[in-house]
Each structure stands twice: as C-alpha cells, then as structure tokens.
Amino acid sequence: MEHLKYPIGRFDKTRQYAFEDAPAALDYLEAFPALLRQEVENLTAEDLEKVYRPDGWNIRQVVHHLADSHMHLYIRIKLALTDDNPAVSGYHENVWAETADCDLDIENPLQILGALHARIVHLYRNMSREDYDKTYFHSGYQATYVLRNVLHLYRWHCEHHLGHIRLALKN
C-alpha cells in the first residue's frame, strides 16, 4: 500500500535545499502543466474515474486537487513575501475533493494550473536570495516552512500526483 500512496516515495522534510538547487525545480514547475495536460488530455470519462488505490481519489479528483493545492501554495508564497512568518491554515483535502466544482471538466483545473505555475515560477525567479529564506507557519501542521524548501516540496507534489495518475491508468 505504501507504493500506491507514495509512488515516488515520501518527501524528505528534513532535507534543507540550497538557493542553487532552485533552477532545476523551477524548470520542472514551469513544465509541469504541459506534462500533466499531455498525460490526461485524451482520457475518456471512464478513464477519469479510475483510481490509483482502493479508497483513493480518481484521476479527475487528482487533477482538481492539484489546482486546489497549488492555489494555496501561491497564496502562501505571497503571504511569506509580504508578511513576517505569517500563519497559514490547512484545508481538508478529502472534503475539497468531494465538492461540486470537482465534477467540472478537467480543462478548468488544467487552465488554472497553467496560469498558477507561470505566476509561481515568475515569483521565484524574481526573488532575492534572502526571499528564499522567508517563512510561513502552517497552523495545521504546527511547522514553519522555508520558501526554498517549499519549492522542492511542490516539485515533489507534482511528481507524486503524476505518479498517482499513471498508476490509475495501469488499473
């Protein structure tokens, strides 16, 4: 079950990334919306209902989750850049995956992700070295997140859910 939950492995929360590690992660985040689109754009309605594991989300829900999650990322980055270690809240991902907007065609979240990733990448590429060390406090996890590490967390998040989609398509 671990491989089905974490097809690329778990993110290493203890690793501290260097400023110099950012370009490769940013290149991936920039490319991700097209990679995701390529993976899902020709899927049938039946394909979109496939799940990657028992009690897991279907492909449609995964695509909508990516948009939801990355909207939170964008807001958190902006808050960290404009406030001093702002407190951010989490959200109930499984409940969000059941809301009515997740029944929309996947073109909607694909467009959102394209626009969001363009903005996220532009923000990071125009941040100073000091900005990469800015933080936010996640009240749900009771943890402080550093923007240079968050960048890599979300690269992992993209690869993680792309892995879920690929697993679902094998089922």
Mean pLDDT of the chain: 97
For 103-124, what is each residue's pLDDT tens digit?
Answer: 999 999 999 999 999 999 999 9
Contact indicator for 55, 97 with CB cutoff of 8 Å: no
- CATH number for the domain including 55? 1.20.120.450
How many domains are there within the chain? 1
Give a yes or no: residue 2 inside a domain.
no
**Alpha-carbon distance 114 to 122, whole Å?**
12
Give a yes or no: residue 83 inside a domain.
yes
Give a yes or no: residue 81 inside a domain.
yes
Give a yes or no: residue 158 inside a domain.
yes
pTM of the predicted protein model: 0.97
For 46-90, what is each residue's pLDDT tens digit?
Answer: 999 999 999 999 999 999 999 999 999 999 999 999 999 999 999
Give a yes or no: residue 14 inside a domain.
no
Burial of 30 (0-12, 13-18, 19+ CB in 10 A): middle
> Which residues span the domain enclosing 114?
32-170
Give a yes or no: residue 11 inside a domain.
no
